[in-house]
Amino acid sequence: MLFAKLPFAHLTSGGNGDEHSAVLKSSYGMPSSASVPVPRFSMKTTKQTWKTFAEVPRTYEALCRVHLPRPIHDKIDLDNATEIVDFLAGHELNTDQEDYLDLLSDLVEEYEAKHAPFNPRRLTGIATLNYLLEENGLNASDLSRILDADRTLGAKILRGERALTVEHMKKLGRRFAVDPGIFLA
């Protein structure tokens, strides 16, 4: 924020719990002569924007009014952009929609390369499996279902009590669309 750069400026809450009750105060604790109301935090959301593809704007400008493509700085920005990318991917897009999707995809890829690099060669097979389960919102019992096995097998594999078999690795490779060899390490 512009005010945060001033050495005498401090943001304080007005105390009534209202998100717009923060005011700019001088270093003496008194409101500055401008006494400008400032939001305490910027509102970010990951609420789904469209329910059907027919609701998606057709022009680049209209898409930018919904979500302006900007460099991604945090997890919430990433979640917002990823949600839109996932929604648009796989549909028949016009040129403006394709350009918008390409730009958002590039921004997501750039952020993930810097902040969440996934290098399966550095991970053990179980660490890779844990990563894939977490990223897909799955747990040990889901792993058992994927492997078509006893419901306790997933937990035993994740604790290191049981090893993955070649057949397990093939099933996991199909489920997560990865090379089954990444589970060997």
Report the DSSP pairing between strands 22-25 and 37-38. antiparallel
Cα distance between residue 66 and residue 107, in whole Å: 16
Dihedral sign, CA of 87, 91, 97, 98? Answer: positive
- Summarize pLDDT for 131-175 with one digit per residue, the tens: 899 989 999 999 999 999 988 999 999 998 999 999 999 999 999
Domains and their CATH numbers in the chain: 1-43 (no CATH), 53-115 (no CATH), 120-183 (1.10.260.40)
3-state DSSP helix/strand/coil % of the chain, to nearest 5: 50, 5, 45
pTM: 0.45
